[in-house]
């Protein structure tokens, strides 16, 4: 059993309406999908999170020559061979994003070859579905009173779909953020609410925003400050009651070790399509567990990345553990994504705010190549 081909699909789609967060506005969605084909013709799919073109070039110019003819079951060996070969130059960034997509595709391929769902290859689970929080609620290019009305209207749609947990985007500006935090809570007094600033604040701003989040009983404060200001996370955490969550910009167990040792994080959010893949995600989770820190993956891409996060999340041990069920929500991105919406023949079922764990082999999703090719760059 040998790997014979790696196909990449750089896809791009225009949005019907631009939407933004604290850093910039999107007018398009862009993804890089990976298909690894073995000599029997069976294929596995992966996804990379990050700038598609340089990741694609990394795969074909550097990774593909090292992976061809390898045994697809040797995913750990492949990961470490790539890591060691480029250790001097590419421990972070697009190269690790490329490894991440390759690793996800290998796990999917192993599931396809064995006929087993990914969660079983990862050790099994006692659940058949995972509770999700709805991500969306982005900013629109409109006056702020209209932006707030749009956010509340979108949140109402998510509640109607059965979501009991929502994540609000903040970081537009402090005055708007304080107002939005209170308005959303007053509109939905019984929901579980989180807030994501996408590293928009200085420490002193984050403290003031965090106290407002505490006042309105939000569950966690995501990416309050820049990801490289490790020591500021501990300073912030000492002043607030709600959990601090971060990690989507971090990579590998070594990067996460620095984050964890800062003492300022309660919830780690590795993106499996960026942090090093499923193989590295397992190591990051073990590291977090040794510090008593929870892990819930960041997932903002197509159904491939979401499926990887779902299987990974479903196999997580309860931390710290108790007899009654502990809800640890998985991110479910509901913003516009034409590739995700149209280019999959089999998707993950979202039922009443929960992601149903697929029972088919591998990731349990299937790409419609005829549709996918319509979006290729």
Tokens 């931390």 found at: 319
- Provide the b/e sequence for 187-213 (b: ≥16 CB within 10 Å): ebeebbbbbbbbbbbebebbbebbebb
Residue 158: active-site member: no
* Cα atoms in the Cβ-side hemisphere of radius 13 Å centred on 201: 26
Which one of 298, 311, 313, 323 is the catalytic residue?
298
Q: How far apart (Å, rounded) are the C-alpha atoms in residues 327 and 163?
A: 13
Q: How many residues make up the chain in this entry?
A: 377
Q: How far apart (Å, rounded) are the C-alpha atoms in residues 9 and 32?
A: 6
**Residue 53 dihedral angles phi and psi, to the nearest 5°:** -65, -50
Judged on CB neighbours under 10 Å (0-12, 13-18, 19+), 152 is middle
Active site residues: 298
């Amino acid at each position: 059993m040998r790997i014979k081909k790696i196909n990449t699909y750089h896809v791009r789609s225009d949005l019907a309406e631009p939407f933004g967060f604290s850093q910039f506005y999107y007018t398009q969605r862009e993804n890089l999908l990976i298909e690894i084909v073995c000599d029997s013709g069976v294929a596995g799919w992966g996804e990379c999170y990050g700038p598609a073109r340089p990741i694609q070039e990394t795969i074909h110019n550097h990774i593909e020559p090292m992976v061809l003819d390898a045994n697809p079951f040797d995913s750990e060996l492949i990961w470490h061979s790539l890591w060691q070969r480029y250790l001097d130059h590419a421990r972070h960034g697009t190269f690790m994003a490329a490894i991440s997509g390759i690793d996800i595709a290998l796990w999917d391929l192993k599931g396809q070859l064995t006929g087993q769902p990914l969660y079983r290859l990862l050790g099994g689970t006692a659940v058949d579905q995972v509770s999700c929080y709805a991500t969306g609620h982005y900013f629109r290019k409109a006056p702020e009173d209209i932006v707030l009305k749009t956010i509340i209207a979108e949140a109402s749609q998510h509640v109607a779909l059965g979501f009991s947990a929502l994540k609000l985007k903040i970081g537009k500006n402090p005055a708007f953020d304080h107002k939005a935090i209170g308005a959303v809570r007053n509109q939905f007094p019984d929901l579980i609410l989180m807030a994501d600033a996408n590293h928009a604040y200085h420490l002193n701003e984050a403290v003031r925003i965090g106290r407002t989040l505490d006042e309105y009983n939000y569950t966690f404060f995501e990416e309050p400050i820049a990801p490289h200001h490790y020591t500021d996370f501990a300073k912030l955490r000492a002043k607030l009651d709600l959990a601090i969550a971060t990690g989507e910009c971090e990579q590998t167990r070594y990067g996460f070790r620095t984050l964890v040792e800062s003492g300022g994080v309660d919830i780690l959010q590795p993106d499996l399509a960026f942090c090093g893949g499923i193989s590295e995600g397992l190591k990051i989770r073990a590291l977090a567990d040794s510090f008593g820190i929870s892990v819930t993956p960041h997932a903002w891409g197509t159904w491939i990345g979401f499926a990887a996060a779902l299987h990974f999340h479903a196999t997580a041990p309860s931390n710290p553990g108790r007899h009654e069920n502990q809800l640890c929500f998985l991110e479910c991105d509901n913003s516009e994504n034409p590739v995700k919406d149209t280019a999959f023949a089999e998707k993950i079922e979202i039922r009443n705010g929960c992601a149903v764990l697929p029972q088919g082999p591998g990731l349990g999703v299937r790409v419609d190549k005829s549709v996918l090719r319509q979006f290729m760059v």
